[in-house]
Amino acid sequence: MRSFSVLCLTLVVSSAHGFASVSVPKSSSSVTALNAETITLGIFGGGTVGGGIVEIINAKQALFEKMTGKTIQVKKICVRDASKERDFAVPDGCDIVTSYDDILDDESIDVVVEVMGGTDEAKNVVYQSLEKGKNVVTANKALIAKHLPDIEAVLNKVNAGRETPVEFRYEAAVCGGIPIIRSMQSDFVGDEINMISGIINGCTNYMLTSMDRDAKSYDEALKEASALGYAEADPTLDVGGFDARSKLRILMRLAYGVEVNEEEISCRGIQELTKMDFDYAKMMGGTIKLLGVSKKIDETRVAAFVSPCYVSNDDSLANVNGATNAVEVISDNLQSSTYIGQGAGRFPTANSCINDIVSLAKGDVNALPFNPDAPDKIFVNNYDSVFYVRLQYRDGIGITRQCGEICEKYGVSIHSLLQNPIDKKDEAAFVLITEKVSLTNIKKVCNDLEALDWCKGQAFFMPVLRENWV
């Protein structure tokens, strides 16, 4: 009879209120190697994703043994409330624990799976797991976006002089079930990435689809997204674009080797969008999507932004609807590669965690989880684009002339001026479409326009994704 090694995973479970803090001493000692007969897992977080991981392991155990020659065993799951009823079957021999130390100090646990969320307690769990020689699998985009250089430093310190490196895997952290991280680590090594454009937040894409296709208002779309579980109780991270910005920051490091504080990336959410904007987008032959975009300006500079964008109907991203995610990578060799799939949810996210776990069980090695850094490349918070500018106005004389004069002052060429029939006088508005211009200059134009007597409120502007939109 063929014998199999056993891979044990430890799961730590959390609730919406987080975990109790436990102090864990640092250690650089190594634990059970991944080629041992029994490999154990410890999971931090027994909620939606943690439960999904356990369910997949329970269902696919025999297949995983055939693929890896090892048995993947969930040994412990760390949760906030051990008495809470779980929505998954706890594996035989698996302990539900509440102390971080029960996993971190267990030398038989080889892989720590962090799906507890948050950044502070999760950071302690991840760092101490790595320092103890345990491989880490995480779905925590916020943690990585905020602490990527520190995670890299911990890995470098831990792996100095080690024959087999301690691994940090995070496929589930960006776009849930889409295997974009693995692809960025392996499929573009002989290529040069020039641009990334992504629908990388499912909640906002669902909302924008409802606003476009079903003529819902922003408030109606948000209420519907919340009822379906796409939006959090506080949806600010989603609708404000901040969730997408965290994911974009990670993709930028993988694509260009550039380090950037995510707060430096220009970020505009969807709160200012109205039905009027979708009416104008239809007039132009397209729709509006919240996108995370990064562009290589030249050999040393990279720009990026998160913003609603006008996208033509014939664009592949225009037809990605509902809570679906999509990432387009434009590169020298492969030209355009688009990845589409479910960006969140129990099983899409758990599936990516499982892929990382199985890869570790097979002995796959990736000593540079964030790809090599490129110190010669810098981030610049400015970019060139065609822009859509919406202005609400009071009746007046010379409005068009003043728009032209201010645009001329800052070297902005106007491509077209659009105005739909006015149903309500207090909602009168028109749209300027510019030629390609810098973000800096379009901001100056908007600031000057807003100072005029006829301009009501702030000007709303957004990039047009493609230069050849017409």
The crossing angle, in degrees rounded to 10, of helices 141-159 and 242-256 is 40
Bridge partners (DSSP) of residue 418 are 431
> What is the rounded distance in angstroms from the CA atom of residue 130 to the CA atom of residue 270?
38
The one-letter amino acid at 90 = V
Retrieve residue 207's tokens: 């909302």
Report angle CA 126, 128, 131 to the nearest 5 degrees: 110
The crossing angle, in degrees rounded to 10, of helices 275-284 and 202-213 is 70
Query: How many angstroms from the chain centroid is the CA of residue 298?
Result: 25
Please list, in sequence order, all residues whose beta carbon lies within 8 angstroms of the beta carbon of residue 119, skipping any fewer than 6 positions away.
Answer: 140, 142, 143, 146, 147
Bridge partners (DSSP) of residue 392 are 429, 456
> What is the rounded distance in angstroms from the CA atom of residue 115 to the CA atom of residue 138?
6
Which one of the listed residues 70, 134, 146, 247 is annotated catalytic? 247
Radius of gyration of the chain (CA): 25
In the Cβ-directed half-sphere of 248, how many Cα atoms lie within 13 Å?
34
Q: Which residue has the tokens 């570790």?
A: 360
User: Is 282 an annotated catalytic residue?
Assistant: no
Other C-beta atoms closer than 10 Å to the C-beta of 242 total 19
Please list, in sequence order, all residues whose beta carbon lies within 8 angstroms of the beta carbon of residue 40, skipping any fewer than 6 positions away.
Answer: 6, 7, 8, 9, 10, 32, 73, 74, 75, 106, 108, 109, 110, 111
Provide the annotated active-site residues.
247
